[in-house]
């Protein structure tokens, strides 16, 4: 609503300006790396199965599942009939939370996403960490490691290889990455693979073993172990979430 916020997203720094509206798949690894002192932001989390089952018009769902972060300026949001998220959330906070209100909120969310799917969405400009004045020099190294993992996660990737892509020693690279992102490079890499598998489970009828191999896992057992750890369910149970309920 005010100020700006910068994300490390898909190996690049993306700055979202004041009064803009953005949509992305929160399951993809991302990290807030900078904000203005007056930043005021609002996040709305919608379960992915809902979005898929809504069958939104246009290509919004496909683009989001393929890793795009899409943005809408305030003027374009108004033109599309999208109200202020801030005002909407403030109204909800003042309203007694009954089952009927929850039903209304779900319907409003779906209507909001349908309007968003028809709006003039675009990808915001990407800035390299080296060009971003307020970000530390070490972030450019982090950016290089993230870019390498985003390119190579379907292959066998080692910590030494990740560190080498940024010109760093593996111990220093691991510490830098963990401090900035709150997780290790290994965990980040596995999450990229899990997200790839989730997309295929939700949108294709591929065999689970083929999905595991396509996502970069060396074995089916390893895929199941990591999937259970990250998603707290089996791949089969996850896939069933995207099957529309019978009417």
Q: What is the mean pLDDT of residues 129-146?
A: 65
How far does the chain reach from its first CA to its final CA, in angstroms? Answer: 40
The rounded distance, in Å, linking the Cα atoms of 97 and 112 is 20
Q: What is the mean pLDDT of residues 197-202?
A: 91
Asked if 46 and 61 touch (Cβ cutoff 8 Å), the reply is no
Helix axes 85-93, 99-118, angle to 10 degrees: 180
b/e string for 96-107 if b means 16 or more Cβ within 10 A? eeeeeeeeeeee
Angle at 103 between CA 102 and CA 105, to 5 degrees: 65
Q: In 3D, which of 22, 155, 116, 178 has the Cα closest to residue 9?
A: 22
pLDDT in tens, 74-92: 788 777 777 667 777 777 7
Q: What is the mean pLDDT of the chain?
A: 84
pLDDT in tens, 25-34: 887 777 787 8
Q: Which residues pair with 13 in a beta bridge?
A: 8, 127
Query: What is the reported pLDDT for 28?
Result: 77
């Amino acid at each position: 609503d005010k100020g700006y916020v910068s994300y490390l997203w898909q190996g690049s720094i993306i700055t979202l300006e004041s009064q803009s509206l953005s949509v992305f798949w929160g399951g993809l690894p991302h990290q807030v790396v900078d904000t203005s002192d007056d930043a005021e932001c609002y996040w709305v989390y919608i379960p992915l199965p809902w979005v898929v089952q809504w069958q939104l018009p246009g290509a919004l769902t496909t683009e989001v599942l393929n890793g795009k972060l899409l943005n809408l300026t305030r003027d374009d949001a108004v033109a599309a009939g999208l109200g202020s998220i801030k005002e909407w959330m403030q109204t909800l906070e003042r309203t007694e939370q009954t089952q009927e209100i929850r039903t209304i909120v779900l319907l409003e969310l779906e209507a909001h996403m349908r309007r968003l799917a028809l709006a003039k969405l675009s990808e915001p400009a990407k800035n390299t960490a080296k060009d971003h004045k307020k970000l530390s020099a070490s972030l450019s190294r982090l950016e290089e490691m993230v870019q390498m993992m985003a390119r190579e996660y379907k292959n066998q990737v080692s910590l030494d290889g990740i560190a080498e892509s940024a010109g760093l020693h593996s111990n220093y690279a691991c510490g830098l990455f963990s401090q900035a992102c709150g997780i290790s490079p290994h965990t980040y890499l596995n999450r990229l693979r899990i997200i790839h598998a989730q997309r295929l489970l939700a949108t294709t009828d591929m065999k689970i073993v083929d999905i595991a191999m396509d996502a970069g896992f060396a074995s089916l057992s390893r895929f199941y172990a990591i999937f259970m750890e990250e998603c707290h369910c089996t791949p089969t149970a996850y896939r069933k979430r995207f099957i529309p309920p019978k009417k």
